[in-house]
Structure 1
Amino acid sequence: MTPRLDAFGLVVADMARSLAFYRRLGLEIPVEADSAPHAEHTLPGGVRLMWDTVQTVRSFDPNWSPPDGAQISLAFRCADPAEVDSVFAAMTGAGHAAHLKSWDAPWGQRYAVLLDPDGNGVDLYAPLPPAPN
């Protein structure tokens, strides 16, 4: 058997706050999950995004501590460059942290980076229209 990526997880300090952030980005996560020690959302294609509270992780790994530096970065594709800007504005307007304001990246995408409540990078991107000839 060859292992296949089935899920990836985030360790969160405040489940409700983290899930509210990802709901605002369009993930459908039941409100009941806000008080759970573990939550999951199945993405298109079947891979699951999971959240576990710090307390849950420490229940089986008592010495767990957050890693130094970047933990993980998630990327959300937007429909077009204008949506990158509008989602970034809506998220920061709702009080979520901005890391990098929208810009036209040299690799041909409109790009912006938010931080989720636990400091994980959340990229917003969309292809830029082709340059006129």
Structure 2
Amino acid sequence: MDFVSIRIITGDVARLVDFYERATAVRAEWATEDFAELRTASGTLAIASTRTVPLFAPGSAHPADNRSVILEFLVEDVDSVHRKLTGLVADFVGEPTTMPWGNRSLLFRDPDGNLVNFFTPVTPAAVAKFAR
């Protein structure tokens, strides 16, 4: 089995796609006006309209209602990214912080309130874990 993607359901696909394109510097591939994907080497962030929910199961997903999932992106230099995100991100949950498990992390909310973690491994063990 391979983990392929995570999908965010939103009431404003264009706004959320624009945010993630600017935050990640990854261009989205649009399938329809209701669905776009930002593909990286290790996974895909899919962003879909509420209009797509009934295709799966009516009422099964609600936009801007996540309080349990954190989207995580490995970045080259989290402190540099933090400076670049100033002005784009309205809700930084915290400043870059080195975590006990060896990642320097920046936690913020996207325009729909989803938690996002940009992180850089900084200890030898964390660097080794994420070596490509």
Question: Same-fold call, TM > 0.5?
Answer: yes
Alignment equivalent of 1:112, drawn from 100, 106, 115 = 106
Provide the aligned length of Structure 1 versus Structure 2.
Answer: 122
Instruction: Tell me the TM-score normalized by structure 2.
Output: 0.74
Could you tell me how far 1:65 is from its partner in structure 2? 4.4
- Please provide the CA RMSD for this pair: 2.7
Could you tell me how far 1:95 is from its partner in structure 2? 4.0
Question: Counterparts of 1:56 and 1:78 in 2: how far apart (Å)?
Answer: 31
Instruction: Tell me the TM-score normalized by structure 1.
Output: 0.73
Runs of 4+ in 1 over 4 A off after TM superposition: none
Identity %: 29
Q: Within 5 Å, which residues of 2 pair with 1:1-40? A: 3-24=1-22, 25-30=24-29, 33=30, 36-40=33-37
Please tell me whether Structure 1 or Structure 2 has the larger radius of gyration of its CA atoms.
1
Local SS of the residue matching 1:87: helix
Q: Which 5+ residue runs of structure 2 have no aligned equivalent?
A: 125-132
Change (3 A) 1:37 1:115: same
Could you tell me how far 1:90 is from its partner in structure 2? 2.2
- Corresponding residue for 2:93? 99
Change (3 A) 1:128 1:4: closer
What amino acid maps onto 1:78 in structure 2?
V
Change (3 A) 1:108 1:48: closer
- Verify the 8 A CA contact 2:66 2:114 in the aligned structure 1: no
Local SS of the residue matching 1:20: helix
Change (3 A) 1:35 1:115: farther
- Verify the 8 A CA contact 1:16 1:34 in the aligned structure 2: no
Q: Which 5+ residue runs of structure 1 have no aligned equivalent?
A: none
